[in-house]
């Protein structure tokens, strides 16, 4: 549903804008926060929910999550603003878990069910009944009927129906989750098993009811900017095109400075360093047979997937810093008094930045979607910005990290440029389901000698949970930005002289 301005997206955008407004303009935070659901749902007409009371209930929880707070309990009277004092700070604020299901928004979708629709013609051949291995299909009132107690969800009936009259009902969030982390509570509503979840956010963008949301740090980031701290932004390679067709990289950099950031760096700088490091790692360890294969490290959900489900592969994950962390360390070397915010497409980067070893490098993480709320709250019209800066930090290799296959391609190009005699074997997987298959094959020894790129989101970072535009459009924009880069490959020390 990316790239479609659905009601779910409109509500999310409105909430981010209004929470940013609270940070920028509120003089009485508690009262204004309590009034906000009535401002957002300002009349009794609701086209999508059965009542505006439920719509406001959902918005209340969204507001809390957008301020970094947890959902309220369902069995106790708790004000929307309760606990806001702890989140009203000028530093990173995070209460795990990151991804949460809003119970009042969940529609208790069927988990996995085959049912006969009104397309059924009651045909004489009745192939659906003939192929059912459990005798679950009979005729009722001239149409096929599936006994759900007997059905084993094999789908054979659907595959043979000549009228496509059998529908497979699956919970969209569960279908999008490649690790089986979506379960059901006692009322049949979705819930997330945090022991399995890798925080990719694909469940969130797939839910048609907007029942799953992640926590945000925009409120705390704005407070930090208001405190007078020097805040420097680094923007992920997938930023191109996310804020409008007319918003060039140079315009975007100027707009960020107008928003209040002291300086803007491309995270692709760190990607360039990562490509160099992982190329050397491959040449010296994989190509020589010292280690069987190399897993890229830049996608945090891919790394967490490997660590949780395939712990035997941990030693094969590249020890190169992720582009976000590498860029943050460069920034803090040059600006030791600054705080760093990573602006990107990814929900799981919020968790990466909260890890003990990284906490001091990256101070805030926000998504493109959340940044849009900040621009709107400040009344900054990006189309009308006059570019006063140049986005010229990185090479095409690093900028290509934003799309699936871009990481492996950059590393391969670096190897071919600097080690022309080394044969490179490249594999890449996108989506958690495909990533799991790839790791299973690697575990079985079927990917020895390979450099393996894993991306949790189908399409790569441009398909992240915090993006603004359609994946195909975003891919095109990133590829164009990469192709038009003045320098295509980073220079390896001792090479390219």
Domains of the chain (ranges, CATH numbers):
112-170 (3.30.70.20), 230-483 (3.40.50)
Q: How confident is the model at residue 224 (pLDDT cuts 50, 70, 90)?
A: very high
Average pLDDT of the residues in 431-435: 96
Instruction: Kindly compute the dihedral angle of the four CA atoms of residues 103, 105, 110, 111, in this order, to the nearest 10 degrees.
Output: -50
Model pLDDT, residue 1 = 65
Rg (CA), the chain: 25
Q: Which residue, among 94, 115, 22, 8, has the nearest Cα to 374 in the 3D structure? A: 22
Report the distance separating Cα 174 and Cα 298, nearest Å: 25
Q: Does pLDDT of 496 surpass 60?
A: no
Angstrom distance (rounded) from CA 276 to CA 418 = 10
CB atoms closer than 10 angstroms to residue 185: 12
pTM for the model stands at: 0.93
Confidence at residue 48, expressed as pLDDT on a 0 to 100 scale = 76
The rounded distance, in Å, linking the Cα atoms of 404 and 389 is 29
Q: Can you give the pLDDT at residue 342? A: 98
- Per-residue pLDDT tens over the stretch 50-70: 888 999 999 999 999 999 999
DSSP H or E run through 138 = strand 137-140
Tell me the per-residue pLDDT of 293-311, one tens digit each, with 9 for 90 and over: 999 999 999 999 999 999 9
- Condensed to tens digits (0 to 9), the pLDDT of residues 363-411 reads 999 999 999 999 999 999 999 999 999 998 899 999 999 999 999 999 9
Cα dist. 270→325, 364, 393 in Å?
A: 7, 17, 10
Give the model's pLDDT for residue 497: 43
Task: Say yes or no to pLDDT of 114 above 60.
Answer: yes
Residue range 166-179: mean pLDDT, rounded: 94
Answer yes or no: are the C-beta atoms of 195 and 204 closer than 8 Å.
no
Residue 355: pLDDT band by 50, 70, 90 thresholds? Answer: confident
Burial label for 311, CB within 10 Å (0-12, 13-18, 19+), is: exposed
Residue (of 114, 112, 163) closest to 134 by Cα position? 114
**How far is 399 from 393, CA to CA, in rounded Å?**
10
- Dihedral sign, Cα of residue 396, residue 397, residue 401, residue 406: positive
Between β-strands 450-455 and 293-295, what pairing exists: parallel, antiparallel or unpaired? parallel
In terms of residues, how long is the chain? 497
pLDDT, mean of residues 422-434: 95
Identify which of 203, 194, 343, 202 has the alpha carbon closest to the alpha carbon of residue 261: 343
pLDDT score recorded for residue 309: 96
Angle CA(27)–CA(29)–CA(31) in degrees, nearest 5? Answer: 100
pLDDT, tens only, 319-343: 999 999 999 999 999 999 999 999 9
Residues in Cβ contact with 2 at an 8 Å cutoff, skipping those fewer than 6 apart = 205, 463, 467, 469, 470, 471
Chain segment 244-287, per-residue pLDDT in tens: 999 999 999 999 999 999 999 999 999 999 999 999 999 999 99
Rounded (10°) angle between helices 432-443 and 300-309? 50
Burial class (CB in 10 A: 0-12, 13-18, 19+), 283: middle
| Cα distance from N-terminal residue to C-terminal residue, the chain | 47
User: In this predicted structure, what is the pLDDT of residue 494?
Assistant: 65
Query: Is the CB of residue 94 less than 8 Å from the CB of residue 59?
Result: no
For all residues of the chain together, what is the average pLDDT? 94
């Amino acid at each position: 549903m990316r790239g479609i301005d659905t009601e779910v997206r409109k509500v999310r955008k409105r909430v981010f804008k209004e929470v940013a407004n609270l940070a920028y303009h509120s003089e009485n935070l508690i009262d204004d926060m309590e009034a906000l659901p009535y401002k957002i749902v300002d009349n009794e007409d609701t086209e999508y929910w059965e009542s505006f009371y439920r719509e406001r209930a959902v918005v209340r929880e969204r507001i809390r999550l957008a301020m970094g707070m947890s959902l309220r309990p369902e069995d106790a009277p708790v004000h929307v603003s309760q606990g806001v004092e702890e989140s009203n700070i000028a530093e990173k604020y995070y209460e795990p878990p990151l991804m949460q299901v809003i119970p009042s928004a969940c529609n208790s979708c069927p988990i996995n069910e085959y049912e006969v629709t009104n397309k059924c013609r009651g045909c004489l051949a009745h192939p659906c009944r003939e192929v059912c291995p459990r005798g679950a299909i009979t005729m009722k009132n001239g149409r096929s009927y599936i006994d759900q107690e007997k059905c084993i969800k094999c789908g054979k009936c659907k595959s043979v129906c000549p009228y496509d009259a059998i529908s497979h009902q699956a919970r969209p969030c569960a279908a999008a989750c490649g690790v089986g982390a979506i379960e059901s509570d006692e009322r049949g509503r979705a819930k997330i098993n945090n022991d399995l979840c890798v925080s990719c956010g694909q469940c969130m963008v797939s839910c048609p009811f907007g029942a799953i949301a992640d926590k945000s740090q925009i409120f705390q980031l704005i407070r930090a900017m208001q405190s007078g701290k020097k805040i420097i932004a680094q923007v992920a390679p997938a930023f191109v095109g996310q804020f409008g067709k007319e918003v060039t990289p140079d315009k975007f950099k100027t707009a960020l400075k107008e928003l209040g950031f002291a300086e803007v760096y491309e995270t692709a700088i760190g990607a360039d360093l990562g490509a160099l490091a992982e190329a050397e790692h491959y040449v010296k360890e994989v190509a020589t047979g010292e280690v069987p294969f190399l897993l890229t490290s830049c996608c945090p959900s891919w790394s967490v997937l490997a660590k949780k489900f395939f712990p035997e592969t941990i030693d094969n994950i590249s020890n190169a810093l992720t582009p976000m962390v590498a860029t943050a360390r460069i920034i803090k070397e040059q600006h030791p008094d600054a705080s760093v915010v990573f602006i990107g497409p990814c929900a799981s980067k919020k968790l990466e930045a909260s890890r003990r070893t990284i906490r001091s490098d990256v101070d805030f993480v926000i998504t493109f979607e959340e940044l849009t709320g900040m621009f709107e709250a400040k009344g900054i019209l990006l189309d009308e910005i006059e570019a006063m800066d140049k986005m010229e930090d990185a090479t095409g290799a690093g900028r290509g990290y934003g799309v699936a296959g871009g990481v492996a391609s950059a590393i391969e190009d670096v190897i071919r440029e600097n080690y022309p005699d080394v044969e490179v074997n490249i594999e890449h997987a996108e989506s958690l389901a495909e990533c799991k298959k790839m790791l299973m094959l690697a575990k079985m020894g079927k990917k020895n000698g390979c450099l393996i790129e894993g991306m949790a989101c189908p399409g790569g970072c441009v398909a992240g949970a915090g993006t603004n535009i359609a994946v195909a459009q975003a891919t095109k924009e990133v590829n164009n930005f990469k192709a038009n880069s003045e320098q295509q490959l980073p220079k390896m020390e001792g090479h390219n002289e």
